[in-house]
Amino acid sequence: MSPGFEVRQDYKENIKLAFDTLRSHKLRSFLTVLGVVIGVGVIIIVASLLVGFDRSVQNQIMSYGADTAFVSKFGSGIHFGRMSREERMRKPLTADDGWAIQEQCSAVRAVAVSLFPDNDGNNKIRYKDTEVVGLDFRGTFPSFVNVYANAGLKEGRFFVDAENHHRQNVVVIGQSVAETLFPNVSPLDKDVLVNGGVFRVIGVFEKPKGGFGDSDEDKRVVIPYETFHKITPTAKEHGIRVQARAGQLDLAVDQARDVLRRRRNVPYSAPDNFGIETSQQIVDQFHDIVKMIALVTIVLSSIGLLVGGVGVMNIMLVSVTERTREIGVRKAIGARRRDITAQFLMEAVALTGLGGALGILFGGGISQIVRMTTSMQTAVPMWAVVMGLAVSGTVGLVFGVWPAMKASRLDPVEALRYE
């Protein structure tokens, strides 16, 4: 018989003994690895939520258009509502800035300028006794529907230059707004109250693809720029969306930056006093945030794994004591120290590996329930499954070393005498 075959036989025997031990102490085994189950389960749940959320945000951001760039008076990056004092004090962008970019940048196909209210988001639209608040309310130019990739129309039409020039009270609303205000009838040609003013509905946006929850884009209420300026003369905050020609996004961004630096009198050596970034740049920034959240979550969940590892070590030490005579018998009939060590290490790894598998099932089940009962997207990534199994097995290996070594060092004569 070859040595390799003997080693394989030994491992098969150790695995069989390990699972026989687990089956004979089911409740004790489960309670021992409960910490591992919880730790791995948390990793799976958080990973599935983060991956689903990341995909939703990425789809929503990219739905604005991969060939577009955002321009605002605030610096680049995701701020979560926090702006520096210097950013808040910057002079706002203007519609003329948008037209200058359109006329002076050869790589720019189109520009959409939007004007936003200065009432801290307290905007509402009303039809009869039904009201919707928390709107994405803005005034813009007819180019909006062409520049914004996610501004397709489900029904009706967008306003035209003549309606903007003559300051007509017309409005295009998001699909969720339409469904709330007009659940059983078409909203077209109906009069609604937008912040107290009467407007005629001429179009309804399609529901954005790839969004999550009740997104702002689905609660759009858009009116002509000049009409907005007429009813809100104090509004000054503008946003500019730049659409590049095919394959010229980077050049369009550089050209737009040069135009704005000249118009805003930025010295050559000074940084931009405005922000300009593409959809992909925003997605990359969000990915970095998600990675940090995942890292923190894994570190925190390792506490549960540590508790589970201590429990495994404790129960394995108890097992060594309970099976002292068995160990003596095995040594008396020829078992080597490495055989005893391998047996107890295999039992510890099997114990925590089983806990890891249960944790994966638990976390995957919770993820599935969340996906089926809420609007959140979830997806269990393969890396999280592999990590859960690897970490749980490693916990058993690390915390099982001491009990295994203790068992292998028992004197066979003394072990046989143990009662």
- Is residue 213 very low, low, confident or very high in pLDDT (cuts 50, 70, 90)? very low
Helix (H, G, I), strand (E, B) or coil at 334: coil
Measured between alpha carbons, how far is 94 from 220 in angstroms, rounded to an integer? Answer: 21
Tokens of 44: 């799976």
H-type helices in 25-168, by residue range? 26-32, 34-62, 85-88, 95-104, 144-147, 161-165
Q: Report residue 409 as tokens.
A: 């060092």
Whole-angstrom CA distances from 183 to 4, 174, 177, 215, 243 are 74, 13, 10, 19, 35
Using CA atoms, how far apart are residues 148 and 70, in angstroms rounded to an integer?
11
Share of the chain above pLDDT 90, in %: 26
Q: Which of 54-68, 92-106, 351-365 has the lowest mean pLDDT?
A: 54-68
Q: Per mean pLDDT, which range of 61-70, 137-146, 156-165, 190-199 is the poorest?
A: 61-70
- The overall longest dimension of the chain from CA atoms, in Å, is 104
Alpha-carbon distance 18 to 343, whole Å?
7
pLDDT of residue 159: 95
For residue 334, what pLDDT is reported? 74
| Predicted local distance difference test score (pLDDT) of residue 372 | 85
Q: How far is CA 336 from the centre of its chain?
A: 52
DSSP string, 144-202: HHHH-TT--EEEE----HHHHHTT--EEEE-HHHHHHH-SSS--TT-EEEETTEEEEEE
State the amino acid at position 144 in one-letter form. F
Looking at residue 121, the DSSP 8-state letter turns out to be T
pLDDT (average), residues 110-125: 85
Is residue 258 predicted with pLDDT exceeding 90?
yes
**Average pLDDT over the chain, rounded to an integer:** 80
- Residue found by looking up tokens 């609660």 in the block: 219
Task: Give the lowest-confidence range in 28-37, 102-111, 243-252.
Answer: 28-37
370/31: higher pLDDT:
370
Rounded Cα–Cα distance for residues 5 and 52 (Å):
47
Range with lowest mean pLDDT among 6-10, 199-203, 250-254: 6-10
Rounded-to-integer distance, Cα 44 and Cα 199, Å: 49
d(CA 109, CA 203): 25
What's the pLDDT at 400?
80
Question: What average pLDDT score do residues 325-338 get?
Answer: 75
